[in-house]
Structure 1
Amino acid sequence: MTEVKTAPITREVLDNAYTYDQYRKLIDKLMAEKKTTGENHSEAMLHYTKMNTFRMKRLDKTTELNPELKERLKQVERPMIWLLLTEAWCGDAAQILPVLQKMADQNELIEMKLILRDQHLDIMDEFLTNGKSRSIPKLVVLDANSHDVLGDWGPRPFEAQEMYDNWRLNDGEDYREISETLHKWYADDKTESTQKELLPLIDRWENG
């Protein structure tokens, strides 16, 4: 039996969350104003956000779910909310959100909602990576009726997270170095790792 966590995820939070389309439109609107999500609107952050819009558009068109995963998603009978903590400038989020949305699209009982991390740090702090890092994207899966937390996943597939952790362990300072390495990894992986990791979790979430 999966341990149920308590998190400050209220009905108000869920009602005010974005759909994926609303999130994409928000980013476009902010970029037109030379802004991104959060408070840091530097040239660097705007550049990251611009690149992420290209990544999401590409993945929206090219991502294909593997047949086993697609079939399992169609079999889900428990209503779920997939709540994503994200930010427009986050490169990992841009690589992962499109495939999660395609997964949610397979079953009307799965509803994906997005919230901005920096506006919901109380929720983020319930789902820290390694107990200390506010890394995103973070997927929090809720029972749609009770809002009990069924599980979580993220911020990255295991192999990508291991690469990132090793970089940090070796006193990584230049973020551009790991960013380029990770985005090449995502391009070569073609969302396969994300799909493979989430497939067995669906059983756990549905039966937890």
Structure 2
Amino acid sequence: MKTSIAKALFQSHSYIEYRKLISDLLRQQQSTSKTPSEELTHYSSLNDTRMQRLDKTMVVPETIISKLTSLKETYIWLVISEGWCGDAAQLLPIFNKMALASDGIIDLRIVLRDENEELMQLFLTNKTKAIPKLIVIHKETSGALAHWGPRPKDAADLITDYKKTHGTIDEAAKTALQLWYLQDKGRTTQLEVLDMMLDLDNPEV
């Protein structure tokens, strides 16, 4: 696993670099996909707009900031993503704001799923390459300690229940999911990720 992580980190992007990569590709009417399509470029464009909005509006509460800055160890959050992924567009701005709020304790790095097949295979969700996937790495040992994703539990339950009822994930399901994210304002994600970090930082508690 360490080899896969080392390879991924070597070619990883900062949040600013990732945002620039998506924007540069969109100017060429392209997406991060290895198999370009108008549909994926369209989703990437929507996601770029969403991320711009969330970069401006996403807030990390002081209660969460104080706990992030009290973590005893230092970590890397390695996120597997793609520009066309709707969930990634909703969640990456949250990860970024939390990492920035940690005062150097957390370093956010991002890699593309389709360029990191070996890494992705280690973090499948129900045997699928669902993204985004946040991998928590101990900065000193480079060991992967835990992972989170591709969605907060309530959002995942929404999609699971929809699929059980309708048999498929269609545009209505995607709209319902985006509405959930809009109403939640990042609260659930922040709490779930924070709880994971506190558990890792205090293994004996």
Question: Which bracket does the TM-score occupy, shorter chain normalised?
Answer: over 0.9
Contact 2:43 2:86 in 1 (8 A): yes
Contact 1:34 1:41 in 2 (8 A): no
Shift of 1:109: 2.2
- Alignment of 1:182 with 2:182, yes or no, is no
Contact 2:159 2:169 in 1 (8 A): no
Distance 1:122 1:7 in 2: 11
Shift of 1:79: 1.4
- Residue 174 of structure 2 aligns with an amino acid whose one-letter code is S
> What SS does the corresponding residue of 2:66 show, helix, strand or coil?
helix
Q: Deviations over 1:65-94 (max 9, x none)?
A: 122211111112211110000000000000
- Alignment of 1:151 with 2:146, yes or no, is yes
Partner of 1:142: 137
Shift of 1:12: 3.5
When normalised by structure 1's length, the TM-score is 0.92
> What SS does the corresponding residue of 2:135 show, helix, strand or coil?
strand
Shift of 1:191: 0.6
- Over the aligned positions, Cα root-mean-square deviation in angstroms equals 1.5
When normalised by structure 2's length, the TM-score is 0.93
Shift of 1:8: 4.3
- Alignment of 1:204 with 2:192, yes or no, is no
- Alignment of 1:35 with 2:60, yes or no, is no
Partner of 1:93: 88
Q: Deviations over 1:105-164 (max 9, x none)?
A: 12212101000011112111111113x121110000001121111111011010000111
Pick closer, same or farther for the CA change 1:186–1:10 going to 2, 3 Å. Answer: closer
Distance 2:5 2:95 in 1: 22
Distance 1:11 1:101 in 2: 21
Unaligned runs of 5+ in 2: none
Distance 2:3 2:151 in 1: 23
- Match of residue 116, structure 2, among 116, 120, 141: 120
Contact 2:13 2:111 in 1 (8 A): yes
Distance 2:167 2:117 in 1: 25
Partner of 2:188: 193
- Percent of matched pairs sharing the same residue: 35
1:63-102 correspondence runs (5 A)? 63-102=58-97
Partner of 1:47: 42
Contact 2:138 2:145 in 1 (8 A): yes
Distance 2:8 2:125 in 1: 22
- Residue 56 of structure 1 aligns with an amino acid whose one-letter code is M
Q: Which runs of 4+ in 1 moved over 4 A?
A: none
Unaligned runs of 5+ in 1: 1-5
Contact 2:4 2:118 in 1 (8 A): no
